[in-house]
Every structure is written in C-alpha cells, then in structure tokens.
Structure 1
Amino acid sequence: MSDPAAPQPGPLRPHEASGPAAQHARQAERDCRLDPKVSEALRDAGFARHFVPARWGGQEGSFLHCLEAVAEVSRADPSAGWCAAIAASLSRMAAFLPEEGQRTVWEHGPDALVVGALVPGGSAQAAPGGWLLGGRWPYVSGVHASDAALLAAQVPVTGGRKQVRFLLVPRSAYGIERTWDTVGMRGTGSDTLVLDQVYVPVTHTFLLTELASGRGPGGAPACLTVPLKNVSGLTFAAPVLGAVRGALEAWSRAVVRKRAAARPGQEPSVSAELDLARSTAQADAAELLLTRAAHDADRLLLSDEWSGARAQRDQVAAVDLLLDAADRLQRTGGTGAQSVHGDFQRFWRDARTAAGHAVLQWEPAARRFGAAHLARTAADGK
C-alpha cells in the first residue's frame, strides 16, 4: 500500500532533457554556456515549474523528485543538471515574493526561467515604495536563458539600517558580461549580470530572513516551509551525484574496451573490480544520504535544529563520498582517463568544481551538527 502522505510524482521528465544535454555537452564546454536547445529542453522537462505554486499552474513538487531528476540529467551533462537545479530552486525562491511579484513572474505560465544571485551585490537607493537597484552580480548560472532574476542586495531601511532583500528584475533590464571561464562546470554560463539603475517596488521583493526561515506567504505550499540551509545542499549535491554516476559509466566502458583489446591469454588485473566496487559503494551511500535528506524535507521532518543540522551534514558528507569515489577512478583510470577527448575527465572536473560551492563545505555543516547534537544530549541528560 502506498503512503498517502508521500508526495506523488510530478511531471518532471528528465529523460527528455538528457538526450539534448549529452548531444551538446562538448559544445557547451567550448561556448561556456548551454546551447539554447538544451535550455529549452530543461524548461520543457518541467524543472522551472517544479516548485511553483499550483495556483499559477505549477507542481508544488517534492525535493526527492527534483534530486532524482537533476541527477539523471547530470549523468548526461553536469552543467545542464546544474542549470536544471537552479531553475527549480529559483522558482521556489520566487514563490516567496508578494502576490504582485508572483503575478509578474508567472502570469503567462509557470515555466519562466528565473535565475539569481544569493550573495548581496550591487547597490540600492531608497525610492518611494521601493528601491533603485543597480550594479554587478557575478556567477549567475543559466543567465543567458533567463526570463527574470532575483538579486540579493543590501537595501536601506528606516533608522539608517540595512537589510538583505531579494529584488526581482525582468530580463529586459539587465545585460550579461562574459566572465565565466573555469576548469569545470563550464557549460553553466555563470556569467556576470550587469544592471543599470532600475526601480524595483517593494511588492517585487522579499527578505532573506523569510527564505532562510521558510516563512513564505500565507497559505504557502509545504515545499516553501523548509528553512533554506536545511535543503540548499540538495540543489548543488544532485549535479555532483549525477556527475559521478556519469564518471562511473565512462570509466567502466573504458575498462571493458581495454579488456576486449587485450592479447589472448593476458590476464586482466583485478584492481579494476576492487576500485569499481569501492567507488560504486560510495556513490550508493551518498545517494542514500541525499535521499534521506530530501525525504525528510518533503515530510516536514526538518523543523527542529538537530534534524535540520543532520540533513545539512548529510548533504555535505554525501559530496565528500562522491569526490572520493571519483578521485579513485581518476587515479586508477590510466592515461585514457586523462584524455581531453573522453567523457570521464569532464565528469570528474565538473564534480570537483561543483563541490567547491559554499554550501557544500564541511566545516560549517559539521560545526552546526556538532553543536545541535551536543545540545540535544545535554537536554536529554537533565
């Protein structure tokens, strides 16, 4: 019998995007951005609408289904999977906007591609009913295919204070400076968004504290009520999971080809089986950790500090396991694994680059969990 509380599968169709992503992966590396056909395939596959409220035609989808779908696309091209994750995550963020702001994003349908910058940048000046916003925001993934952007900025409020808000700006308001040229995740097109001064009304903004705490607008769907730091790692760990799965497949195919070309009577080395077993076990363990975190988020089980801290810990620990698995394959893959013409090295570089994201660093996650666990232990002992 199915669990009636379990989220039902939405219309995410990652297989529809995986083919175009694989076909254009090498071109995306050269261009440092996704081919427009791939961006449209991600939109058509349902990533942009996944977390959008149902009243706008969205799915109010689950974290687990998003994790699985992003990982599947990332097995074809991690850069495309990263942009898929951004499309879903930023639509979830846009649902924190007031009614007028949400209408601006989704009045023509739930598939608007929203991008964003979570690190405050630019400058904001107070204006009647809102702010004048301008400046530069680097590392905006997927910006070339975007319909709108949510930009974090320090905005002035009464008493000379400042607060961090996300401000919605339409695609017509900003330009793009080509600044993205990296070792891995090259196809994400994470270039710099440049904005001349534009007026943004308060109804097109929301506070960072609302997103961080999961305090969305009244009547918000369950997927908006989870505090950001309890699930933000899922957005960026899912492409790493897919990248390492892709690396395992490429590595295994290379071993099979090498053995098929061996001289008659030449005994194959057993080290390949040992390395493969260890790396696949680590990838499976990482997937289990990520699945538990997503499962708990979907069932609203991350409301207390200990549970949220464990979920954050698990997301980062999963990435550490995945990197260890990929590094082992890279060390033992021979000269063929280093070829720039092969797929393995691209998956490996992409996994390594994605893991450098701020939310996937071990120390903050470990310190948070350690503090929460010791506090719970002390409370239990009273």
Structure 2
Amino acid sequence: MLDIGTTATAKGAQLLSRARELAPVFRARAAEAEKARRIPQESIDDLREAGLLRTLQPAALGGYQLPLDEAVLITATVAEGCGSTGWIQGIFSDHCATLGMFDGRAQQDVWGASPDSLVSSGFLPAGRAFRVDGGFRLSGRWPFSSGCDHADWALVRSFVPGDSEPPELHMFLVAKSDYALIDGWHVMGMSGTGSKDFELKGEVFVPEHRTLSDRDLRNGTGPGSAFNGGALYRLPRHATVPFSLAAPLVGMAERALQLIVQNMRERSGGERRSVHEGAIHIRVAESAAEIDAARALMLRDCREAMEIARQGGQMSLDLRARNRRDIAYVASRCTRALDRLYAAAGAKSIFLDGEVQRLLRDIHAAGQHMALNVGH
C-alpha cells in the first residue's frame, strides 16, 4: 500500500485515506468506464466530494495546495482502483498546478464562480495564434484532451509569431463555450480517459491575462505565485508537474503486483506447484523492487523540487534534465514490472473480463504520452 510517511500534512493524509477508500469503488466501475470511453459521472462526483480534484488547486481559490510529493501519491492510489480514473485525477491535478502559475485574474475566471471547475488540455502545440490589442486571436484543433467531457475550460499550446524573433510557444486558457468536442477516441488502452479532440469555433479572442509563455512555465516564473503564495507555483513546470502523469503508472503496477501475489496465495491443488517455482518468485520479486524504486525516485524528485522552491531557489538545468529523465524512467520501470507480472499471471489472465489484462493495456497506452515516453 502506498504511504506518504511521516512528513505528510494533515490534509494530505486525510485525502490519501479518502483515495484508499474510493479505490475499490473505482475498480468496480473500470469496465463501465472502458465501455463508455469516459469516466462515469458518479466517479467524477466521488472525486469531487472527496476533495481529490483540488489537491494542487490554490488554497486562495478553494483548493488544498498540497506539496507535489503528497499529491502524486494520492493520484497513484486512485489509479490502483482504475487506471483511467487515476489518469484523469492526475490530469486535473496537473492543470490545477499549471493554472496556478497564470495571472491571478485567469485563476479567478475559472475558480472564482465555482471552486469545482475543471480544466482539460491540448498540450501538443497546434493551431494558429497572433497578437491583437489586449490579447490574442486563436484558432485550431487539439488532440488527446483527457477528461474533456467533464471539463469547463481547456489549456492549449500554440506558437505565436514575432515581428523579428522566432515564434514563441504560449499556453492559452479557453472556455468550453468556445470549442466543440470531436469524438474519435477508439483505443486499445486508457479508453476510460475519454481523450477526445476539440476544435475552437473559428477565431477566438483570448485576453492577455489568460496566456502564459512556455518560457515562464519552464522556469517557474509565472505571475501566479505572487497571487497565490507558496512554493508549488514557483516550480519549473515541465520538470516537476508531469509526475502527476507518471503517478498513475505506479498505481497500476502496484495493483498488478497485489493481484499476482493474491493469486499465488489462493491457488489450490495442482495449481499450487507454480507458487513454489523459483522463476515465478524471481519475476514477482524483480517487479516489486522496480515498483518500489520507481515510487522512491518519483518522491525524491518531487520533494527536492518542493524544498528548493520553498527556500526561494531555482532548480539547476542539470536537476531539471534529471527530473525529465526520471518522469519517463518511472513510467518505463512500472511498465516493465507489469509486463513481467503479466507473464506470470497464467492462462486465465487473457480473458477480457480480467483485471490484469486491462492494467496491461492501460499502462502501455499511458506510456505513449509524450512526457512519459523516452522515444518522443
């Protein structure tokens, strides 16, 4: 079982406990989520009621503003129940932290009316943007918007041409009323995330305060930290916040380990022979070690980044590069561990109503994300 440990805040420990209680509930709905190709509304309601969609939301606007290391453990725990639900909880948490780096007026636009507002995204740079008085004109279509069915806003990235300089990458905040969802989400894994495309309805005006340069996101120098206070919104985003996407893979691998060990204990008669086979023990032991190592690496990097930010420092480029490496490494180690466990699961694991085969498909699909795949 995942554990925050002795350094947990009281709120972090409380939210982790709620995540543990809800994991079996999400597990019971995993097949439904996969079939519907979106998270059931009941699961979104459960996450919202438990406060698990506000882990990284600014405290000034109704959130809990947890340290990143505590938030990723909560995400991993949700993913023990359902990989897709854990991914969505991690995605919405990522976007809370990211929006917390924006101008305070943008944050108030989203959470001022309702602290329950959710933000999806289209992070593959696309579309067309250009400067106008007071802001930007933006148009285009973005893929892979996880959780978009439940979101009220979206963050997208697009290049803005300069008069004499190369185009600069920016992130833009757009309201759901400005775009339409396009359903082409028919996939082999993570089906429940509902990661559809969306397209803006023509050219949309985005005011200046709803944009942030990729440079500021990279360096943790956005204006949001002055509005919110706290270290979380001074983190260099790309080298820290995407651990929210690696965390679900830790949870999925941990759940596969639980299932295999449970299965070994429950086998009877002739089936029990495999329990004593050294090869099976080695596979389980290696996988357990890899999962533990992946979790420890994730927590070390998140805790170090938080401590540097608390002390008012800046992460060096070497540390940022290390973290980017580790985000992908955590994902690859967990995928490798689950592959090895599946190979030990036996013939019954091939049936489509089995939990392990869904975990296998989901972890491979999740690992294709550009932040988690070392080949991207």
Indicate which of 340, 344, 350 corresponds to 1:332.
344
SS of the counterpart of 1:52? Answer: coil
Alignment pair present for 1:205 and 2:214:
no
Indicate which of 308, 333, 344 corresponds to 1:300.
308
Aligned to 2:93: 88
Alignment pair present for 1:275 and 2:301:
no
Cα distance in 2, alignment partners of residues 362 and 57 from structure 1: 36
When Rg is computed on C-alpha atoms for both structures, the one with the higher figure is 1
Aligned to 1:374: none
Alignment pair present for 1:183 and 2:195:
no
Q: Among all aligned residue pairs of Structure 1 and Structure 2, give the percentage whose two residues are the same amino acid.
A: 29
Q: Counterparts of 1:234-245 in structure 2 under 5 Å?
A: 234-245=243-254
Alignment pair present for 1:135 and 2:140:
yes
SS of the counterpart of 1:51? Answer: coil
Letter of the 1:342 counterpart: G
Q: CA deviation at 1:272?
A: 2.6
Cα distance in 2, alignment partners of residues 164 and 309 from structure 1: 20
Q: CA deviation at 1:238?
A: 0.4
Structure 1 range deviating more: 63-72 or 232-241? 232-241
Q: CA deviation at 1:156?
A: 4.0
Structure 1 range deviating more: 355-364 or 182-191? 355-364
Structure 1 range deviating more: 239-248 or 47-56? 47-56
Structure 1 range deviating more: 171-180 or 142-151? 171-180
- Report the TM-score, using the length of structure 1 for normalisation: 0.86
Residues 58 and 96 in structure 2, CA contact (< 8 A), matched pair in contact too: no
Q: CA deviation at 1:145?
A: 0.3
Aligned to 1:287: 295
Cα distance in 2, alignment partners of residues 196 and 333 from structure 1: 48
Structure 1 residues 125 and 317: CA distance shift in structure 2, 3 A: closer
Cα displacement string for residues 220-273 of structure 1 (whole angstroms, at most 9, x for unaligned residues): 42111111232144122101100101111222233334x225379998534332
Alignment pair present for 1:103 and 2:108:
yes
Report the aligned-residue RMSD.
Answer: 2.6
Letter of the 2:142 counterpart: W
Residues 7 and 298 in structure 1, CA contact (< 8 A), matched pair in contact too: no
Residues 26 and 85 in structure 2, CA contact (< 8 A), matched pair in contact too: yes
SS of the counterpart of 1:357? Answer: coil
Cα distance in 1, alignment partners of residues 278 and 305 from structure 2: 41
Cα distance in 1, alignment partners of residues 220 and 20 from structure 2: 31
Q: CA deviation at 1:63?
A: 0.9
SS of the counterpart of 1:149? Answer: strand
> Unpaired runs of 5+ in structure 1?
365-382
Aligned to 1:367: none
SS of the counterpart of 2:80? Answer: helix
Structure 1 residues 105 and 268: CA distance shift in structure 2, 3 A: same
Residues 233 and 316 in structure 1, CA contact (< 8 A), matched pair in contact too: no
Q: CA deviation at 1:21?
A: 1.6
Q: CA deviation at 1:284?
A: 1.0
Q: Counterparts of 1:211-230 in structure 2 under 5 Å?
A: 211-217=217-223, 219=226, 220-230=229-239
SS of the counterpart of 2:170? Answer: strand
Cα displacement string for residues 282-336 of structure 1 (whole angstroms, at most 9, x for unaligned residues): 1111111111111112212771223333333333222222222111112222211
SS of the counterpart of 1:360? Answer: coil
Residues 47 and 87 in structure 1, CA contact (< 8 A), matched pair in contact too: no
Residues 20 and 37 in structure 1, CA contact (< 8 A), matched pair in contact too: no
> Unpaired runs of 5+ in structure 2?
none
Cα distance in 1, alignment partners of residues 367 and 92 from structure 2: 19
Aligned to 2:265: 256
Structure 1 residues 307 and 116: CA distance shift in structure 2, 3 A: same
Q: CA deviation at 1:51?
A: 2.0
Q: CA deviation at 1:349?
A: 1.3
Q: Counterparts of 1:7-46 in structure 2 under 5 Å?
A: 9-10=11-12, 12=15, 13-15=18-20, 17-46=22-51
SS of the counterpart of 2:156? Answer: strand
Aligned to 1:309: 321
Cα displacement string for residues 138-163 of structure 1 (whole angstroms, at most 9, x for unaligned residues): 10000000011111122345458632
Structure 1 residues 199 and 266: CA distance shift in structure 2, 3 A: closer
Residues 101 and 234 in structure 2, CA contact (< 8 A), matched pair in contact too: no
* Aligned positions, number: 361
